[in-house]
Each structure stands twice: as structure tokens, then as C-alpha cells.
């Protein structure tokens, strides 16, 4: 494939945008080549400005569960735009979308909409601190919860891609209140609770981690977290910005029996529009302004265009819950094909699937935490990614990211992708 126009566009972007991109992982620093500059999307495909066509397994990093330019979502957005882009005032569509979410999540009585997943998590943690009157929070190495100061401590995703454990510009006075434990290791959590002497406001976790690759939490581990939070009076927050409506119709909570105290959401609930949300039971949410003293606000929160897009997306999912079986079947077929292609040339690979989410590591052992993920052969991944891209297969440009199946991913696309994987593995092994 030729990338001449994208290379030129990247050079131009670099002159006026830091790194040439508006989100670091897009710069392709963890893989080979130059990022394609996208012209448009259509169903399960992306097209770049050089005219190349790709099967899209990124889907805007998760939101586009119905693929690009879904007719129903597109129509709802156009209708909303005709009424106005933003009002800074209440609209009934906010209540409609909130009702859809509340109706699906047992742990949520009320929900507050914001404009991003980062904002949702930041606000949820502030609320947890306000409810408990405590300062410390506990997170897990490799879990990414957005780029707010308190959470840029041993994060995954883009920071893992660049080999950076945290970020300059984050005050030590803030991060000293962020305790780190090891994912799927309950003993490390118990030690944090013991050392903190009861001063932990909340434990925040991706119950299905998607930012160190796809690494689900063990059910016994989640049960242990629930017990420890109950014992010490801390709140348990499930960050389902990525897994919400992706792993199942109810996210991780459709798979696990563990009930969190608070939930953060994003991505699918905006269907590609900027959106985030956090929710909890009525008692916890009553602490939030204007009902309570914990302040949170946003000019574009509950934006009517984003709400319309998300409402249509969620209604379509609720009307067709059987599609999650198809998602999982196709995702498993894809990664099983990748694994067989790798095995054919004696390259180790482990895979994981949760609903429409999939992941794979060039590793010879199961990946249970961030340390395991870091043993992944990133050089092999970079070569594999480049080979697949050159054959029209658009995968996440980091070995620490998750891939996605959408409703318009066909069996033919899966088979084409597996065929490409065999070719690439034979070429690079």
C-alpha cells in the first residue's frame, strides 16, 4: 500500500500539533510506519486519504459498536443537530438516556453525564472522597482511568506504549494519595488497606482491563475486592468506560456477580460522540451538587447531539441482545485464527475474548496483570501490525490496547483477516 499523502499530512500536522496527533497512541510510536490519515468510514471499513481501504478492528477505540455511519444513529444525530448543537440547559433526551442506563445496571439509581471518560472517572473519585471523607484511592498497575493527575500513576495504554510509568507535571502531593496494587493479586490489595490504616476512599478497577491489552479480572479477585471494601468502608468503583455495553449488554456486570458501589461509563453510550457518565445508588448520588456539597459541572454535559446518538445506540442493543453471541463468536474466530497462524511458524501467542472485545499477546504464558503484559514481545507485535496494515487490516497501534468487533463485521472480513495473519506470520517469523 502507498501512504504518500498520509506521510505528507503527518509532517504538516507535526508542525502545529504536538507529535502530530491529539492523542499520543495515534502517533504509531509503538509500531512501525506512519499513521494513516482517515478520509471516512463506512460500515466495518476505514478509508484513508491515499485511497486505501481497511477492515476496522479499532472502531474509534470502542464506541462504534454498530460500525461507521449506521443509518439509525446518523439519522438521530442529524435530527438533533437541526434542533441545535448545544443549549446549556436540560433536555428530555438526557432523562431518556439515563433511564436506559439505570434500567440495565442494578448498581445505578441515578447517573450524571459528562463529556469524556476521563471526566467521568475524575468526578466519580471526587464523589467517593466526598462521601467517605477520606483522601486515598487505590488503583491497579496497568489500569488506565484517564489522564487526570491522581490517576497518572503506573497507567497502561499510551503510557505503557511509550514506556513511561507516569507523567511530569503531576504533583507528588497528589499522587501520594494514590495507592498501587497488582491486578488479580488480592494480597497486594490487603497490604494497601493495612498500610493506609482505613484511609482509603475507594478502589477503582477496570473489571475487564482494556488498556494493558485485554486482561479480565478473575471472579474470585473481584469478590475479594468487594469483601475488603465492605470491611474497610471504602467504595468499589467499576470503570466500564471501555467494557460497558461491549463485554455484554450490561458490561462486566453482565458477566460477574460482583456489584460495585459506583460505575463509570463512556464510549458506546455516545456512539462516537464525546460523552462520559458516572452513576451509583441514590444515597451516594445525593452527595452530588446541586443536591449535595460535592461539586461537579460542565457546559457541554448532556450535550443533546451526543445524547441522541447514545440513546439510539442503546435502544438498538437492547432490541437485539442476541448480537452479543455473534460478537463473541466472531471475536473468538478471529483470535483463534491469529493464534493458529502464529503457531504455524512456532511463534507463541495467547488470546482473550469478552463479548465484542478481543486481545492477543505474543507471549508463551497467560497474561494476568501488567507485569505479564510487559513480557509481551512488542517488537513482534510491531512487525505484525505493519504487515496487517499493509494488507488492509486496521488493528490497534499498540500491544497494550484492545480490539473490537462491530455489528457489521462479517465472516468474510474475519476470514480475510486470518488469511492476512498467515501471510504476515510466515513473512516475519
Distance CA 76, CA 53 (A): 27
- Among 48, 239, 261, 372, which one carries the catalytic annotation? 239
Q: Cis check for the bond before 416: say yes or no (omega within 30 of 0).
A: no
Distance CA 110, CA 382 (A): 43
Q: Is 14 a catalytic residue?
A: no
Half-sphere exposure at residue 17, Cβ-oriented, CA atoms within 13 angstroms: 12
- Among 144, 232, 394, 400, which one carries the catalytic annotation? 144
Q: Is 332 a catalytic residue?
A: no
Helices 71-83/304-319 angle, 10° precision: 150
- Among 110, 267, 330, 383, which one carries the catalytic annotation? 267
Q: Is 144 a catalytic residue?
A: yes
Grid coordinates representing 418 are 486470518
Catalytic residues, which ones?
Answer: 144, 239, 267
Amino acid at each position: 500500500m502507498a501512504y504518500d499523502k498520509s506521510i505528507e499530512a503527518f509532517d504538516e500536522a507535526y508542525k502545529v500539533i504536538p507529535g502530530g496527533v491529539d492523542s499520543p497512541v495515534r502517533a504509531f510510536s509503538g509500531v512501525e510506519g506512519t499513521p494513516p490519515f482517515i478520509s471516512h468510514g463506512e460500515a466495518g471499513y476505514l478509508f484513508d486519504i491515499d485511497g486505501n481501504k481497511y477492515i476496522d478492528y479499532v472502531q474509534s477505540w470502542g464506541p462504534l459498536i454498530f460500525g461507521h455511519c449506521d443509518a439509525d444513529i446518523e439519522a438521530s444525530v442529524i435530527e438533533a443537530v437541526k434542533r441545535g448543537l448545544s443549549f446549556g440547559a436540560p433536555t428530555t433526551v438526557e432523562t431518556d438516556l439515563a433511564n436506559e442506563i439505570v434500567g440495565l445496571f442494578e448498581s445505578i439509581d441515578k447517573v450524571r453525564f459528562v463529556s469524556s471518560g476521563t471526566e467521568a472517572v475524575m468526578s466519580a473519585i471526587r464523589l467517593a472522597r466526598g462521601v467517605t471523607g477520606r483522601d486515598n484511592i487505590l488503583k491497579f498497575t496497568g489500569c488506565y482511568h484517564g489522564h487526570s493527575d491522581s490517576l497518572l500513576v503506573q497507567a497502561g495504554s499510551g503510557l505503557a506504549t511509550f514506556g513511561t510509568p507516569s507523567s511530569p507535571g503531576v504533583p507528588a502531593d497528589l499522587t501520594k494519595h494514590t495507592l498501587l496494587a497488582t491486578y488479580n493479586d488480592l494480597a497486594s490489595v490487603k497490604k494497601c488497606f493495612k498500610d493506609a490504616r482505613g484511609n482509603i476512599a475507594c478502589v477503582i478497577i477496570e473489571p475487564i482491563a482494556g488498556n494493558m491489552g485485554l486482561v479480565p479480572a478473575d471472579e474470585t479477585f473481584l469478590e475479594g475486592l468487594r469483601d475488603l471494601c465492605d470491611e474497610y468502608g471504602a467504595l468499589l468503583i467499576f470503570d466500564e468506560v471501555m467494557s460497558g455495553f461491549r463485554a455484554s449488554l450490561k458490561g462486566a456486570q453482565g458477566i460477574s456477580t460482583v456489584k460495585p458501589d459506583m460505575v463509570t461509563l463512556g464510549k458506546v453510550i455516545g456512539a462516537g460522540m464525546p460523552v462520559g457518565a458516572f452513576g451509583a445508588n441514590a444515597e451516594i448520588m445525593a452527595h452530588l451538587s446541586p443536591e449535595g456539597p460535592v461539586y461537579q459541572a460542565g457546559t457541554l454535559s448532556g450535550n443533546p447531539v451526543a445524547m441522541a446518538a447514545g440513546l439510539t445506540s442503546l435502544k438498538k442493543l437492547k432490541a437485539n441482545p442476541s448480537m452479543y453471541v455473534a460478537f463473541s463468536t466472531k471475536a473468538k474466530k478471529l483470535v483463534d485464527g491469529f493464534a493458529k497462524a502464529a503457531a504455524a511458524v512456532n511463534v507463541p501467542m495467547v488470546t482473550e475474548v469478552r463479548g465484542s472485545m478481543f486481545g492477543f499477546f505474543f507471549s508463551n504464558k497467560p497474561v494476568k496483570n501488567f507485569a505479564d503484559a510487559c513480557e509481551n514481545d512488542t517488537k513482534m507485535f510491531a512487525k505484525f501490525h505493519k504487515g496487517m496494515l499493509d494488507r488492509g487490516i486496521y488493528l490497534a497501534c499498540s500491544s497494550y490496547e484492545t480490539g473490537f468487533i462491530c455489528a457489521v463485521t462479517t465472516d468474510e472480513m474475519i476470514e480475510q483477516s486470518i488469511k492476512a495473519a498467515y501471510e504476515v506470520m510466515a513473512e516475519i517469523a
